Structure 1
């Protein structure tokens, strides 16, 4: 009998603990697996060159457009000058082509007028020959003049077409030269690297004399905006969460004070394998009894954030679903 009583007590205690857990988790959701996050922007050169000036120091606050680093502009200035000269040469050639086209058109017009006169003369000579007022020799001369006039028109038209074709090639060369000049100007402008957003310089290692390489991150900037709390909650909690719900956040960088926050978003999926999918967040599961509990990232925004936040700092979150 005592065994049954003990067994019943054990079952009752377990049931009570389970019920208490369910009740508590229905009203209080706590996690210590949370941290502060902002956006880390990797600033990379768009050209390759030697660093000649660094205008920032580590942990410095910067504003959008502030000058960060300068790359040696000399090679890019020389290239720009060369491209500029080629573009000027191409423009001059286009102007010459305009004069040549005008001269070719004048030649066609002159040859056409001469052809009209030759036709009229030939027709008149043929008419007079029928009336026996001119000789056959005169008619032959008129026919010969007409043939030469027709040949002159054909030649003038051919020359005009060739001139137009050459001008079209020169126009294409000008467009290419202007495009090359624009690219050279763009590269020259990129010798000065500026801050793309407001934020703070993080872990600065670049020094004068280093080589900046295209698309190779040179400077990290922690964005001044977009601060949020990422709280990883076990999957049996999130069913009770709603967007906009209140939460309380304890920041380890500012202890002994709770900050009010709101749920901004809840992840709709996670990766089951570490590193398998970069587009899905991976959260390492925790061992709870036998089953591995999966956790989902919940994003919260602070209602009244402190003046200074630290990306990656630990946090603890309490949500009352």
Structure 2
């Protein structure tokens, strides 16, 4: 019985202590909420306006669309999807046989042009010889006419001989003029171009060089170093159409971030400010960068169909302006063009 009274007394003493703890707990909870709000307000006041951020950003890289500069059927393919290539590596080859034949024809045309010019030069030299002969004929006819004129004055020749000598002189002079004209015409045909050669030969040589260039272009090589992309349609037997992209190469160097900020966020954004980059593909990692450019127009301004606001039913929409961010950190893995990113620019800098 005494033990029961002792336990009851202990319980009676414990109950007031538990109620007091509850009151203290309620008081602490009531005070913690204003304290948390106050701390949040102080933090926002201290850090507010020091950064601007957006999650409308993505990784970009130089992408080169490789197309055939000559048309033809693809005979060999030397690359596959996601393969790394160096500048100058052979990507694919177009059937070269038609272009070899064209080169042979062009080389034959150069030979024909050289032969034609040689014949023209021979004709010119012959005309020059005729001109020299006509000069001798004119001198002889002039001397004969002078003698006949002197003999006629002294009465030792007939009028007919005098007239014949005069006519022979006129004929020789006319022949000389004709020979000179033909020589000048032959010389004009041989005339040189601004480069010092004959135009016909230069045209044939240019056609030959073009044929040789087309033959060389049947081997399509990588213009940059990077990774092959969109190579599914690059198959032997496919018809390559001139200037139609056949495969893409994504550069391994020079990645950057294009962050589309709202126009209301650009008041304090300046080139050179540091930026923090968070990639969705690399969670928990912050990459350092800095602003290297602010686009001169909004994204909608350079769209295929720019908006026309002078319609009367225009609704104002906050525009976004691309801001380019250069990546400063050295990464241990290659990036992928098109990855999503979250960018924070420290405008307080």
**TM-fit CA distance, 1:124:** 2.5
* Residues 1:304 and 2:333 are matched in the alignment: no
Quick check: 2:252–2:334 contact (8 Å CA) kept in 1? Answer: no
The CA distance in 1 between the partners of 2:202 and 2:115, in whole Å, is 13
The CA distance in 1 between the partners of 2:45 and 2:109, in whole Å, is 79
Structure 1 partner of 2:223: 196
* Residues 1:219 and 2:244 are matched in the alignment: no
The CA distance in 2 between the partners of 1:291 and 1:151, in whole Å, is 91
Where structure 2 has 5 or more consecutive residues not aligned to the other structure, the ranges are 1-39, 308-314
Quick check: 1:26–1:240 contact (8 Å CA) kept in 2? Answer: no
Quick check: 1:248–1:317 contact (8 Å CA) kept in 2? Answer: yes
| 3-state secondary structure, aligned to 2:264 | coil
Structure 2 partner of 1:314: 340
Quick check: 2:299–2:322 contact (8 Å CA) kept in 1? Answer: no
Q: Deviations over 1:229-249 (max 9, x none)?
A: 111112222111111111111
Give the counterpart of 1:37 among 60, 67, 74: 60
| 3-state secondary structure, aligned to 1:255 | coil
Instruction: Out of 126-135 and 305-314, give the one that drifted further.
Output: 126-135
Quick check: 1:253–1:310 contact (8 Å CA) kept in 2? Answer: no
| 3-state secondary structure, aligned to 2:244 | coil
The CA distance in 2 between the partners of 1:276 and 1:55, in whole Å, is 40
The CA distance in 2 between the partners of 1:20 and 1:292, in whole Å, is 31
Equivalence map 1:108-187=2 (5 Å) = 108-167=131-190, 171-187=198-214
Q: 1:236 to 1:33 in 2, by over 3 A?
A: same
Aligned length, in residue pairs = 294
Quick check: 2:294–2:324 contact (8 Å CA) kept in 1? Answer: yes
Q: 1:158 to 1:292 in 2, by over 3 A?
A: closer
Where structure 1 has 5 or more consecutive residues not aligned to the other structure, the ranges are 1-16, 279-289
Question: TM-score scaled to structure 2, two decimals?
Answer: 0.77
Larger radius of gyration: 2
| 3-state secondary structure, aligned to 1:293 | coil
Q: 1:23 to 1:88 in 2, by over 3 A?
A: farther
**TM-fit CA distance, 1:18:** 11
Instruction: Out of 267-276 and 215-224, give the one that drifted further.
Output: 267-276
Instruction: Out of 125-134 and 108-117, give the one that drifted further.
Output: 125-134
Quick check: 1:97–1:167 contact (8 Å CA) kept in 2? Answer: yes
Instruction: Out of 298-307 and 80-89, give the one that drifted further.
Output: 298-307
Quick check: 1:25–1:237 contact (8 Å CA) kept in 2? Answer: no
Quick check: 2:299–2:320 contact (8 Å CA) kept in 1? Answer: no
**TM-fit CA distance, 1:22:** 8.3
**TM-fit CA distance, 1:19:** 11
* Residues 1:51 and 2:77 are matched in the alignment: no
Structure 1 partner of 2:305: 276
Q: Deviations over 1:37-56 (max 9, x none)?
A: 01111111111100011111
| 3-state secondary structure, aligned to 2:74 | strand
* Residues 1:265 and 2:293 are matched in the alignment: yes
Q: 1:256 to 1:136 in 2, by over 3 A?
A: same
The runs of at least 4 consecutive aligned structure 1 residues that moved more than 6 Å come to 17-23
Give the counterpart of 2:125 among 90, 95, 102: 102
Instruction: Out of 262-271 and 127-136, give the one that drifted further.
Output: 127-136
Q: Give the superposed CA RMSD.
A: 2.7
Instruction: Out of 17-26 and 128-137, give the one that drifted further.
Output: 17-26
**TM-fit CA distance, 1:291:** 7.4
Quick check: 1:33–1:232 contact (8 Å CA) kept in 2? Answer: yes
